[in-house]
Chain A
Amino acid sequence: MQRSLFFLVILGSALLVALAWAENPQVPITESGVVAHGPVRVGNLPPVIAPADNPQTSAKILLGKKVYFDTRLSKDNTVSCATCHDPSKGWSDSGPTSKGINSQMGGRRSPPVVNAAHSRLQFWDGRAPTLEEQAKGPIQNPIEMGNTHDAMLRTLNDIPGYVTEFKSVFGTSPITVDQVAQAIAAFERTVVTTDSPFDRFVQGDVSALTPLEKQGLEIFNGKGHCSACHWGGQLSDGRFHNLGVEPIEPGKPDEGRRAVTKSERDFGAFKTPTIRDVAARAPYLHTGKEQTLEDVVRLYNRGGGPEDANLDPMMLPLGLSETEIKALVAFMTRAMTSTNPEVADVKPIPAAELPK
Chain B
Amino acid sequence: MKRLTLLIVSALTLLVLLPEPSQAIPALARKYGFNCNMCHTSFTKLNDYGQRFRDNGYQQPGQEGLEKTVFETFPPISLRTSTGLMIMHEPDSKSTTSGFHLNGLDLLAAGVMHKNISFLMIYTPRIDEPRAGYASVGSMDPSQPGALESANLVFSNLVQDVLSLRVGRFEPGYQAISSKRSYYLLQPYEVYEFSTPGNNFVFADNQIGIEATGHFREGIKYAAGIVNGSGANPDNNNAKDLYANVSKTFGRGEGQSSGQRVGAFGYLGWVPTSLMVPFSGATGDGDGKINKSFYRIGGHASLNYNTFNLQALFMYGSDDKAIGPVRAVSQGKYHFTGGFGRLDWAALPNNRMVASAMFNWITPPDFDKSSRVRAISTLVRYYLGDWTAVNVALHGEYTYRETGYTTIAKQHQFAALLDFDF
Contact = CB atoms under 8 A, between A and B. Distances in A.
Interface of A: 1, 3-4, 7-8, 11, 15, 18, 21-22, 30, 34-43, 214-215, 218-219, 221-223, 225, 227-228, 231, 239, 241, 302-304, 311-319, 321, 323-324, 327
B32 A40 contact: yes
A222 B36 contact: yes
Contact of B252 (A7, A8, A34, A317): A317
B390 to A, nearest CB: 13
Given A40-B32, A218-B35, A239-B63, A323 B349 contact: yes
Contacts of A8: 7
A7 to B, nearest CB: 6
B37 A223 contact: yes
A297 to B, nearest CB: 14
B48 A36 contact: no
Given A7-B8, A222-B350, A324-B350, A316 B253 contact: yes
Interface in B159-176: none
Contact of A36 (B66, B254, B350): B66
Given A221-B35, A227-B34, A316-B48, 4 more contacts: A34-B66, A37-B72, A41-B33, A317-B253
18 contacts: A4-B3, A7-B4, A15-B15, A22-B73, A35-B66, A39-B31, A218-B37, A218-B349, A219-B350, A221-B34, A222-B35, A222-B36, A223-B37, A223-B38, A227-B33, A228-B49, A303-B258, A314-B62
A24 to B, nearest CB: 8
A108 B407 CA distance: 74
A219 B351 CA distance: 9
A316 B258 contact: yes
Contacts of A43: 33
A1 B1 CA distance: 8
B285 interface: no
Contact of B72 (A22, A231, A323): A22
A323 B307 CA distance: 13
B343 to A, nearest CB: 15
B104 interface: no
A155 to B, nearest CB: 44
Contact of B32 (A219, A231, A318): A231
B178 interface: no
A22 B7 contact: no
A228 B60 contact: yes
Interface in B10-62: 11, 14-15, 20, 31-38, 47-49, 52, 56, 60-62
A225 B306 CA distance: 17
Interface of B: 3-4, 7-8, 11, 14-15, 20, 31-38, 47-49, 52, 56, 60-63, 65-68, 72-74, 251-254, 257-259, 304, 306-307, 346, 349-351, 386, 388
Contacts of A7: 4, 7-8
A14 to B, nearest CB: 9
Contacts of B351: 223
Contacts of B11: 11
A214 B387 CA distance: 12
Nearest to B115: A36
A316 to B, nearest CB: 4
A18 B74 contact: yes
Contact of B66 (A1, A3, A38): A38
Q: Which of A8, A227, A239, A314 has the most CB of B within 10 A?
A: A314
Given A7-B4, A314-B62, A316-B49, A221 B73 contact: no
The 7 A-B pairs at the shortest CB distance, nearest first, are namely A41-B33, A38-B67, A222-B35, A222-B37, A313-B61, A317-B258, A303-B252
B276 to A, nearest CB: 47
Contacts of B306: 319, 321
A287 B258 CA distance: 27
A324 B306 CA distance: 13
Nearest to A214: B386
Nearest to A215: B349
A302 B259 CA distance: 11
A179 B402 CA distance: 83
Contacts of B65: 30, 36
